[in-house]
Structure 1
Amino acid sequence: METHVEHSLSAEHLAVGYDQREIIHDLSVRIPTGKISVIVGANACGKSTLLKTLARLLKPSRGTVLLDGKSIQSIPTRAVALKLGLLPQSPTAPEGITVADLVGRGRYPRQGWIRQWTKGDDEAIADAMLSTDVLEIADRPIDELSGGQRQRVWIAMALAQETDILLLDEPTTFLDLTHQFEVLDLLVDLNKRDQRTIVLVLHDLNQACRFGDHLIAMKDGAIVAEGNPSEVITEQVVQDVFGLAVKVIPDPVAGTPMVVPIGRHTTRTDQPATNGRLAAAENPAAKALAASAAANGICRPTDR
């Protein structure tokens, strides 16, 4: 295995967009070195756009991304690939390529005119495939795999690159619950073993809180809150970022914040009447229903 060294990654006053439409507006962020950072937010808030910009896949219209204090746009592509690896949201592979060949491509940035394939490359590939549980399907074509298997192979390729900074855009997509936790546990192992800086986009807030050291909550192309999960994930922040009424309680396993949505049809009905009325009064959804009923001149049975 390669020896990892710490590299810094940050952004200053970023503005990024597509087709004349600005997605990210004057965003500045410093990724904590040696930690797991998780970017959360509603769909289309700019999470993936930020990750792609940090990885130099997108060029900002204003501002800059700094890798080790230098503009990432000024650093040669191969030099960036030796420090920073990316697993995009929807990667594509050449038709007919096998698992082993695809994972092996993660070593390409370390090849050159002088440096040829070594035993260390073989060991890095084997370690990555073993870590992601794809070693037994090494000879199978990617086209024949399930969505979950394919996702684990892509993660293995990113791991084989052995970069100090690893960016992953929704790495648990297509995975069942067991493999979601296996992948997230694997990322924690990598972080603890090598002090690798990891940045990932996740939709599941409870997983983000449990596995992330540092959370970045985004809304409309800007950062609303960032810091320790216990500081970021509050009922007010979730309401503001997602427009969702929730209760935040301690996770009974990890002790991290656990988000419990308040739905219109999933609140408990086994409470005493007085408690039920009190809960309804505190429930935003119940308030909205009561207001709608009043507006329509409907008398609810419980109000008679």
Structure 2
Amino acid sequence: MIEPAVDHSLAAENLAVGYDHREIIHDLSVRIPAGKISVIVGANACGKSTLLKTLARLLKPSRGSVLLDGKSIHQIPTREVATRLGLLPQSPTAPEGITVADLVGRGRYPRQGWIRQWTSADDEAIADAMTSTDVLEIADRPIDELSGGQRQRVWIAMALAQETGILLLDEPTTFLDLTHQFEVLDLLVDLNKRDDRTIVLVLHDLNQACRFGDHLIAMKDGAIVAEGNPAEVITEQVVQDVFGLAVKVIPDPVAGTPMVVPIGRHTPRTNAAGGPVAADNAVSGGVGTENPAAKALAASSAANGICRPTQR
């Protein structure tokens, strides 16, 4: 059985990171809350993935440092880093024909060595990781025969098999349909609740970020614009500043977290009688309108079995 995650600290101080002499991140400092789910959000090319890769030691900053347990991550041996921090990159690839069990087993490689060979503890860690991600029944199937959602669960299982206290995921829901997106995000909440594992992920969907994240980090042009509780970070002004989009922010009718409703240029439509619907009323449920969002808000207290942030 996977051991409870040990509290590890992860932070960045005065980072500057770039590619080909072009600086993407400028003098950025951040401290990742231990035992929480942190979500990095922002427009395309704002530096989200660059920050995550730098935290994972895939990129070396030109200035500043990443601190893992208070020590520069570049001063820690690679194998040791891999026992503390796991990474699921964007669109990972696997060798052709490899099975689920074989791929998950590769998560144990950082814990092998010249002296320490494969033990029953490795078998137990792999079995527990596959059970946690609900892929044990497909252990013998080749990865290339699986659906997108199944593949993502297998990659997460491999990261779990490393038994790291910190798990970084770069856009884990990309290219997944809505059902599989929520399967992956629900799984991450389960893992966080089970052993207080520190999870950091990049997401594009603000509403999913608010519902599943304990701590949000909003970025623009390589810098952090706002960070903290989703209710503090996701405001109409911040969304306008970060994304250049006019929105209304209302309570999510299921989770009670902030829900972003874009206004757009073509928001006014026609109602059932053929007349126009005002943009403000369409979002906020003005007098005399039949507003589905308002009805959902009124009924939200009746929702059962929902994982709300306050219950985590």
Please state which band the TM-score falls in when normalised by the shorter chain.
0.7 to 0.9
Matched, 1:289 2:290: no
CA deviations over 1:169-210 (Å, ceiling 9, x no partner)? 011123222222122111112112111111000111111001
Q: Which moved more, 1:151-160 or 1:223-232?
A: 151-160
Say if 1:269 and 1:87 are closer, same or farther in 2 by CA, change over 3 A.
same
SS at match of 2:276: helix
Work out the CA distance in 2 between the residues paired with 1:203 and 1:35. 19
Residue 100 of structure 1, CA deviation: 0.8
Please tell me whether Structure 1 or Structure 2 has the larger radius of gyration of its CA atoms.
1
In the alignment, structure 2 segments of 5+ residues that lack a partner are 280-288
SS at match of 2:239: helix
Tell me the matched-pair count: 302
Q: Which moved more, 1:186-195 or 1:82-91?
A: 186-195
Say if 1:75 and 1:292 are closer, same or farther in 2 by CA, change over 3 A.
closer
Q: Which moved more, 1:63-72 or 1:188-197?
A: 188-197
Residue 294 of structure 1, CA deviation: 48
| Contact 1:53 1:60 survives alignment (8 Å) | yes
| TM-score (norm: length of structure 1) | 0.87
Say if 1:293 and 1:260 are closer, same or farther in 2 by CA, change over 3 A.
closer
Work out the CA distance in 1 between the residues paired with 2:141 and 2:29. 43
Equivalent residue, structure 1, for 2:282: none
Work out the CA distance in 2 between the residues paired with 1:299 and 1:206. 14
CA deviations over 1:228-255 (Å, ceiling 9, x no partner)? 0000000011111111111000011111
In the alignment, structure 1 segments of 5+ residues that lack a partner are none
Say if 1:86 and 1:286 are closer, same or farther in 2 by CA, change over 3 A.
closer
Residue 161 of structure 1, CA deviation: 1.2
SS at match of 1:296: coil
| Contact 1:148 1:174 survives alignment (8 Å) | no
Q: Which moved more, 1:166-175 or 1:17-26?
A: 166-175
Q: Identical aligned pairs, as a percentage?
A: 90
Residue 116 of structure 1, CA deviation: 2.0
Say if 1:158 and 1:282 are closer, same or farther in 2 by CA, change over 3 A.
same
Work out the CA distance in 2 between the residues paired with 1:18 and 1:152. 31
Work out the CA distance in 2 between the residues paired with 1:13 and 1:130. 40
| Contact 2:16 2:23 survives alignment (8 Å) | yes
CA deviations over 1:95-129 (Å, ceiling 9, x no partner)? 22111101110111111222222222222212222
Say if 1:292 and 1:74 are closer, same or farther in 2 by CA, change over 3 A.
closer
Q: Which moved more, 1:292-301 or 1:219-228?
A: 292-301
Residue 152 of structure 1, CA deviation: 2.0
Work out the CA distance in 2 between the residues paired with 1:303 and 1:208. 16
Say if 1:236 and 1:99 are closer, same or farther in 2 by CA, change over 3 A.
same
| Contact 2:217 2:228 survives alignment (8 Å) | yes
Say if 1:50 and 1:2 are closer, same or farther in 2 by CA, change over 3 A.
same
SS at match of 2:50: helix
Please list every run of at least 4 consecutive aligned residues from structure 1 whose deviation after the TM superposition is greater than 6 angstroms: 273-278, 280-304
Residue 227 of structure 1, CA deviation: 0.4
| Contact 2:255 2:307 survives alignment (8 Å) | no
Residue 138 of structure 1, CA deviation: 1.4
